[in-house]
Amino acid sequence: MDLTPWPAEFAERYRAAGYWRGESFSAAIRSWADAHGDRVAVVDGDVRRTYRELDARASRFAAGFAARGIAPGDRVVVQLPNTADFFDVVFGLFRLGAVPVFALPAHRESELSYFCRHAEAVALVIPGVHEGFDHGGLVPAVRAAAPSVRHVFTAGDDLGAEPVDLADPGASGLAFLQLSGGSTGLPKLIPRTADDYLYSVRASAGICGLSPASVYLCALPVAHNFPLSSPGVLGVLHAGGTVVMCPRPSPDVAFPLIERERVTITALVPPLALVWLTAAEHTGADLSSLEVLQVGGAKLTADAARRVRPVLGCAVQQVFGMAEGLVNYTRLDDPAEVLEETQGRPISPDDELLVVDDAGAPVPPGGTGHLLTRGPYTIRGYYRAEEHNATAFTPDGFYRTGDLVRITPAGYVVVTGRAKDQINRGGEKIAAEEVENHLLAHPAVHDAAVVAVPDAYLGERTCAFVTLSGDGPVSPAQLRAFVRSRGLAAFKVPDKVQIVDAFPVTGVGKVSRTDLRAALRAHLARES
Ligand code: OOB
């Protein structure tokens, strides 16, 4: 199923509460232009685009896509870095009612082929050469794997055409597909609607105090849910502020932009926040315009949170969110211990959070357990994943986040761990099974299990345990090179490969993959 709808009683409640307004993305973009016309909406190097220009370009790109045979409802995989092109393409698709599928610049042939195939995409938009990598080189393999792809466009192509009349795409259907970090073989696609997503955007902008004076530095990859909508670039456009596209999040690129554009708010993952904290102690750049540093995607230590104000001179805001929906924020006026030691509380009074034990029974208040959630902007099912949905969601529609949490008496979430087979490598999510499958494709590999290892900088990195089939000698370095050669995002290549005679699992019978990974993590903990 493309979109698992919310049951009618929930949809009615969310509409009655004013969360779902029936506004399409196309209409929202037009209303931003009506409200903020000649203000600067997006800055990308020397390019400065006003709200009116963004809106006009969306119409031109929509017409250009339509002229090339792209129709409302068609899926288009979009892999674009942090440039103004992103808005032309994505807003153009929104205006047309076509459905962007948000890939990340780090993705390679393996992921792009899968997205195109699974979504039966008719087109792919790539960046050309980006960070020294020629994305055009991936195209023949992706096309071979996904015959539905009829067009490949490159960033900067002039796709515009004279605007044409287009029907409003509506707000309750599939608007775009986000990527899930995934814990099984391949990332899942997350179907979002304009109704649910724009609610989270508006509410987030309010929580973060955005206004026309806000200047947001987009330093994380723009297509990720955090910089896109929490409140991210869309929240800033809703509020009439200015988005500054940052091509790379390193201090040497970001700090001069903060100084030049008088940036007030930005969002980072914890390892980057640590890099910024170190660099800020020595920088000559003037960072005094910064008011808020949001940190999320992985857990920020209380120590790092405490350093933000003294070193960067701005407030810290913790953000615990997921592309499936639920986003939690510490509030700007929260006391220090809440800002430092919790991951915030939900956006909406209608976000329902349950903390349950392994058997699914609620734990006593304040107890630690599995976080389940449903609400006005949390999906009820992944895209075309019926079988997986049966376990990823409870029968009454709660999404099983895979996160272990406790909730404070004031309703703030503290993330204590994770039950899903995923590695959170500094905010970049890696499904253990996906990497294992690549290792298993090597003839010398008998079995493989990928687990997280604690890392002072990244929080976690990956270690692959491998047993050999006897089919020729192979070294850890060769196995890493083999995985890399399979054309997947570099962050998924195991940081370490350890060849073992046997997995340290005792007892009889067949053990589940999850138990095997747990045994390996325990083995690692004993060794260290
Ligand atoms: C964000 O979204 P995703 O979809 O890349 O990853 C979601 C997962 C969560 O289930 C959790 O395991 C982890 O990332 N996570 C955190 C965290 N924020 C996300 N774990 C601990 N502390 C945090 N602050 O990562 C995302 C989406 C929207 C806003 C912010 C982050």
Task: Read off the pLDDT of residues 246-300 as tens digits, 9 standing for 90 and up.
Answer: 999 999 999 999 999 999 999 999 999 999 999 999 999 999 999 999 999 999 9
Global confidence as pTM = 0.97
Is residue 297 within 6 Å of ligand 1 at its C-beta?
yes
Strands 315-322 and 325-329, sheet pairing: antiparallel
pLDDT at 513: 80
Please report where in the chains the tokens 């540093």 appear, as a residue. 293
**59 pLDDT exceeds 80?**
yes
Checking if the pLDDT of 421 tops 80, the result is yes
Please work out whether the CB of residue 423 comes within 6 Å of at least one atom of ligand 1. Answer: no
Distance (angstroms) between ligand 1 centre and the Cα of 329 equals 11
Q: What is the pLDDT of residues 8-35, one digit of tens each?
A: 999 999 999 999 999 999 999 999 999 9
135 pLDDT higher than 90: yes
Query: Looking at domain 25-33+52-192, which of 3.40.50.980, 3.40.50.620, 3.40.50.720, 3.20.20.140 is its CATH number?
Result: 3.40.50.980
Distance CA 205, CA 220 (A): 18
Give the mutation target among 180, 228, 233, 322 for probing the ligand 1 site: most ligand atoms within 8 A of CB: 322
Residue whose CB lies within 8 A of the most ligand 1 atoms, among 320, 341, 373, 406, for a mutation test:
320
Residue 473 has pLDDT above 80, yes or no: yes
Where does the pLDDT of residue 505 fall: very low under 50, low under 70, confident under 90, or very high at 90 and above? low
pLDDT category of residue 488 using cuts at 50, 70 and 90 = very high
Mean pLDDT, rounded, for 318-324: 98
Superfamily of domain 422-527: ANL, C-terminal domain (3.30.300.30)
Q: Residue 130 corresponds to which tokens in the numbers above?
A: 């980006």
CB 498 within 8 A of CB 520: no
Please state which of the ranges 264-278, 304-318, 502-516 shows the lowest mean pLDDT.
502-516
381 lines ligand 1 (CB under 6 A): no
pLDDT of 507: 56
Is any ligand 1 atom within 6 A of the Cβ of residue 217? no
Q: Which stretch of 109-113, 182-186, 482-486 has the lowest confidence by average pLDDT?
A: 182-186
Q: Domain locations in the chain? A: 25-33+52-192, 422-527
- Beta strands 265-268 and 189-192, pairing class: unpaired
Is the pLDDT confidence value at 80 over 80? Answer: yes
Among protein residues, the one with the nearest Cα to ligand 1's atom 3 is 322
**Average confidence (pLDDT) over 79-97:** 98
pLDDT computed for residue 508 by the predictor = 54
Assess whether pLDDT exceeds 60 at residue 87.
yes
Rounded CA-CA distance 360/84 in Å is 46
User: Rounded mean pLDDT of 472-495?
Assistant: 96
- Give distance in angstroms: CA of 493 to centre of ligand 1: 21
pLDDT at 310 over 90: yes
- Which is the closest atom of ligand 1 to the Cα of 401? 10
- Residue 486 has a pLDDT of 96
Nearest-angstrom CA–CA distance, 256 and 211: 23
